[in-house]
Structure 1
Amino acid sequence: MSQDEVETLDSKDESKILSASLSSLSTWEQEMDKVEKEADVYRLKLAQPMYAKRRTILKRIPKFWYIILAENDEFADYASPDDLKYLEFIDDIYVHYPVVEDTGNNTNNPRDFDITISFKKNPIIQEQAVTKSFKVVVRDNGEEHLESVPVEITWPQELSKINPHLIRERTDGGKTMTSDDKKKYRAGMKSFFSWFAWTGKKPGKEFRNGEDLANLISEDIFVNALKYYIVALSNESGEEGSEDEDSSEGEELDLSDVEAGTRKRALEDNELEDVQAKKSK
C-alpha cells in the first residue's frame, strides 16, 4: 500500500471520527437542554410558593409597587407622564409560571409566564385585576421571542381621548382619522395601558418594545422588588438627613459682611448730604 493510500485511509477515518463526535455532541446538547429545563422547573416549583407568600405580605404595604416602579429607571421608558398618577393605585404585581402546574408531562415551556397587575379601589381608575400571558416562540431563523394575546383593561376615563382602541373604533378602523386623531393615537400607543394589547406580531403598529417591558417586569422588577423598595427607603432617609444637615438652627450667623455693607451705605449717605448742602448754598 502506497503512502498516498495510507494517508487517504487516515483522512477517511478522521472524517468518520469527527462525524461521529459531532453527532454525539448533538445528542449531548439535547440531553443537556433537557437537564436545564428540569432544573428550571424544579427551581420554579420551589420558588412559586415563596412568591405567593410574599404576595400576601406586600399587599399590606401602602404604595409598595408604586414605589418600586418609581425607583426603577428603566420602567420610565414604558410609561407616559400621564400614566403616573394611576400607577399609584397598583396594589399587586405577580408573575406566575404555568409549568409549576405540570404533573410530570412537562407540556409547558418553563420560560412561559403570566403577569397579573391589579388596581385597588380608588376614585380615578376602575378596580380591576388583569392577567396577560406570554409564550416563547421560535422564529424561522431560529431566534426566540415572546408573543402574547391582547387582554382587556379598563382605561382611566381621563385618558379615553387617547385610547387607541376607541379612536380606531370611532374612525372606522382608522380609515377616517384626522391629524388630531393621529396625534392622540400616537400618544395613546405610548401609554402603559396600551401594553395590555401588545401581541409581538405587529412591529411598529402596537405598543413599542412590549417584549422588553414583559421581561423587565418578570426578570427584574418582580424578582428584585424588595431590593428596590429598600433602596427607595434609604434614599428617602438620606434626603431627610440632608435637610437636617442644611438647617441653620442654633448656628451663629456671620454678620461681618452685613455690617460692612451698612457702614458703606452710611458713608455714601453722608457724602450725598454734604453735596446737597453745598448746592443749596
Structure 2
Amino acid sequence: MEIESLLSSLETSGHFGHILSIEESQVLYNSLLILQNENHFRKIYFWGKIFGCEKDYYIAFGYTKDAMLGRIYYYSMNCKTWGLLPQPTKNGMQLTPLASTKFIGDPTMVIDILIEKDETLIPSKRKQPEVKKLKEEDRLASTVHFIMNEVSVVPRGALFKRPDGVIVDNISFEGLSTLDAREIKSFQHVRVPTQKINTNLLTRHDYNYAIDFLDPLDLDIPEGCWMIQITPAEDMVILKSLYWPGFIFYHYLRNPKHGFIYFGHGKKSMDLPFMLCPFFTIN
C-alpha cells in the first residue's frame, strides 16, 4: 500500500486479523518517508510483513520511473533502518519452495535443504540425498519475488503503458464500478505478461492495449483461487489469494485508491487445487 494512505489503509487489513500497532504505523510511516527522500523515489509502498520465529521482516519497495519494472525492494526488522533486498538468485529460487521451516529472523542464517533424487528408481539404483545450503536473505528475496509475480494485483486501467514502453500510473483512472468489481477479469497481475496478446484480445470486446497489456486474473488456475468480497456499503472490494494466505488486495470503488498488503509466514498453499476440487471422476 502507498505511503500516503498507509495509516488509514491498515484498517482494511485489520478486518482479517492483520494489524500494526499505532506506534509501529507511525515509525513505519516516518522511516519510509525518509527512505523515499533519500532515494528520490516517485512513490514508495509498504509491501507487508513476513513473520519469523525470533524477528519479523518488514518489506517495502519504491520506484523512480517505471511503476512495474523499476521496483527496488528493502527490508527491515525494526521499522527504522532499511537494507536493500538483493535480487533473487538461481539457487534461492530453486530451494525456497523446498524449505519447510519458518523464517528465523536472521538474514545471515544458513539452513540445510535436503533434496531427494531419483525416487522413482528401484532402491538399489537410487542416489543418496543431496544437502544444499540456503541463506535466509536469499530465501526472503525469492519469497517476495514469488508473491509479487503470482498475486500482486491492480484494477484494470490503474496502470498505463506509454508508447515508449514505460509503465506509469494512469492519472485518468477513476476506479471500478460495483458491477465491474464483481468480475475477476477486472483485475490484472502486475508482472511481465505470460499470455499472448491475442489471448487478452479475444476475451474483451473493449480491448485497449494501453491498459490491457497485463494478464487478467480470470486466467489463473485453478478456477476459484481468488476470493472476492464486496463490503455491505458497496464502497470497497477486497480480494484474497488462497494460494498465498495473508495476501489482501483492496480497492475503493469509483475511486482510484487501491493497494495490497501481505502478512504471513511466506509459505504457499500447494494443496489448494486438491482443496478446491476434492472429488473427481475417472472415465
User: Do they fold alike, i.e. is TM over 0.5?
Assistant: no
How does the TM-score come out when normalised to structure 1?
A: 0.22
Larger radius of gyration between Structure 1 and Structure 2: 1
Higher strand content, 1 or 2: 2
TM-score, scaled relative to structure 2: 0.22
